[in-house]
Amino acid sequence: MPPPHFDQASRLAARLDPTGFLGWLFDLHPAAVGFAGWLDTRGVERVGDTVARLDDPAGGGPPWAVAVEFQTEPDPTMFGRLLAYLSDIWTHLRPDPERGSRFEVGAAVVNLTGNGLASREMRRSAAGLVTHLGVVERNLSRENADNTMGRVEAGDWSRCVLPWVPLMAGGGRPERSTAGSKWPRPSRTTDPGRNTRPWPWSSPRPPAGRTNGPPRWRAGT
């Protein structure tokens, strides 16, 4: 099984700029994300620490609790795992103390390598049975590095996505680090477009052979 610290490093990066990360994940303008904090999941069995509360920016819709998972490699049992996560979130977490108050629940998965398929729809029409889980899933192997960098440069997406660019299609080419590249050079210490907190520009390095660039991860990417 791949080392879990790649997943952990990604969770840390996402938590540094939640609105920017979720804007990229859902392809939304930051003002439309509605991030209202990471929910306290201590004591909730099987649920991780990246469960985002999303409120309706317009003020009319119910709050959502969205479980965000990072996978070094796609997990073929992710559909079942997410059903269990969302069940526990819906059962144990409340948006407020009001009687009967519940979150709407959803899930998103970022696969650092490979292509996942966490969504499922099961039907037995004659019996009226339907089970459906629609998951927002980002497979970095299918993301285009040039397009991503263009969106960052244009200000559509936060620089918080930069640590994952080397894992995207075309992101591992050596010319990406050469002088004169059209890609924006981030600050060494801060992301001035988002906040003034320290910024970790060294991205998590996947196992050898797990990148869409060179066959083996290049030191210094």
CA–chain centroid gap for 41, Å, is 18
Q: Provide the token pair at 171.
A: 């992101």
Q: At residue 113, what is the residue type? A: T
**Which residues, at least 6 apart from 6, have a Cβ–Cβ distance to it below 8 Å?**
70, 72, 112, 204, 205, 206
The per-residue b/e assignment along 42-60, b for 16 or more CB within 10 angstroms, e otherwise, is eebeebeebbbbbbeeeee
- Would 198 be classed as within a structural domain? no
In a domain, 214, yes or no: no
Phi, psi dihedrals of residue 146, rounded to the nearest 5°: -65, -45
What total of structural domains would you count in the chain? 1
Cα 219 to its chain centre, rounded Å, is: 25
Q: Is 18 among the domain residues?
A: yes
Q: Which domain holds residue 21?
A: 5-177
The answer to whether residues 23 and 194 touch, using CB atoms and an 8 Å cutoff, is no
State residue 217's pLDDT score. Answer: 35
Beta-strand (E) ranges in the chain? 35-38, 51-54, 64-71, 104-111, 120-124, 129-133, 136-139
**What pLDDT does residue 68 have?**
97
Record the tokens describing residue 117, joined without a space: 């398929």
Burial class (CB in 10 A: 0-12, 13-18, 19+), 151: middle
Q: Say what the pLDDT of residue 115 is.
A: 96
185 in any annotated domain: no
Cβ neighbours around 178 below 10 Å, total: 8
Parts of the chain with a pLDDT under 50: 1-3, 177-181, 186-221
The answer to the question of residue 201 being in a domain is: no
For position 47, what pLDDT does the model report? Answer: 86
Name residue 104's beta-bridge partners: 64
In a domain, 22, yes or no: yes
pLDDT of residue 220: 38
Interatomic CA distance for residues 94 and 63, integer angstroms: 10
